Amino acid sequence: MASVVLEQASLTFQVTPHGPVRWRDLVADRLRRSGEARIQKVQALREIDFRLSDGDRVGIVGHNGAGKSTLLKILADIYPLTQGTRRVEGRVSALFDIALGFELDATGWENIRYRGYLQGQTRRGVRRKQAEVAEFSELGRALELPVRYYSDGMRVRLAFSIATAIEPDILLVDEAFNAGDIAFRSKARRRLNDVMRRASIVVAVSHELDVLRQLCDLLLWLDQGQVRAFGRADDVLRQYQEFFETRRPAAVAA
C-alpha cells in the first residue's frame, strides 16, 4: 500500500550573492569581523502538511517560483528537509531532470543496467527489461556507444525509456519534462499516460490547468512556498482562477 506524508515540512536554502553556499563561504562568513554576513537564508517551502494514499492523483499549481518543483524534489528525496517529517511508502519514480546522472563513458546498454539497479530492480528484472527499453528508445546500434557521444535528444530518449520501464507505486511528474524530438513525443505521451494509470499515487506539476483537471482528483495550490489550498480539484481550481482574475484589473491599472 503506497502512501506519502509530509508534516510541517520546510526547506531553507543558504545562498550567497554568487549562488549556492560552498564550504569556503561558510569559513569566510565565520571569520568576517565586520559588515553583514554574506550568507543569506531563503525559505523555499514552509510548513507543508498533506497525506496521500492509494488512488490519489494530485496536481500542484502556483506561479513561477512558488515551490512546485522543489516540493517534487522533496518527495523524491533529492532535497533533505531542514524541518519537519517526510514519510514515503512505495517505490518512487521521478520524471524530471531525467537526462542527468548518466555514466558518460559507459555505453547505452551499461547505463540501462546501472539505472535499473539504482531503481531497485533485481539482476533478473534488469535483464528482462533491457530489450523493452532498447526497443522503445529506438536507439538501435547507438546503445553500443558511450553515452558521451549521444545528442541531448538521444539521452532524453534513453532516460525516458528507462524511467518508464518500471512500474512505480508513486509517480512524480514535472511539466518541464520533454521526451526528445516531436516525432518521439506523441509515443512518449501515450506511454506516460499508461504508467500514470498503473501507479498507485501520482503527483504532477503543470501550468496547463485543463490537463490537471482531466488527470487529477486533488489539487495543491502553492503560494510563496506555503499551501494556500488543498482539496478537491474543482474547488481548488475555482479558488485559484478567481484569485488571479481579481488581481488582473489591479495589475492593468498599475
Confidence check: pLDDT of 50 > 90 = yes
- Tell whether 83 and 18 lie within a shared domain: yes
Look up the CATH number of the domain holding residue 235. 3.40.50
pTM of the model: 0.79
pLDDT in tens, 161-179: 998 888 889 999 986 556 6
* Inside any domain, residue 206: no
Instruction: Report the half-sphere exposure of 196 (CA within 13 A, side-chain side).
Output: 21
At residue 111 the predicted structure's pLDDT band, cuts being 50, 70 and 90, is very high
Distance CA 144, CA 18 (A): 41
pLDDT in tens, 182-195: 778 888 888 888 98
* Inside any domain, residue 207: no
Q: What is the domain range of residue 32? A: 1-89+216-254
Q: Contact at 8 Å (CB) between 213 and 69? A: no
Report the number of distinct structural domains present in the chain. 2
* Inside any domain, residue 11: yes
| Mean pLDDT score, 144-157 | 93
Q: Contact at 8 Å (CB) between 58 and 204? A: yes
pLDDT in tens, 118-139: 877 888 988 889 999 999 999 9
- Tell whether 193 and 129 lie within a shared domain: yes
Least confident of 66-75, 80-89, 243-252: 243-252
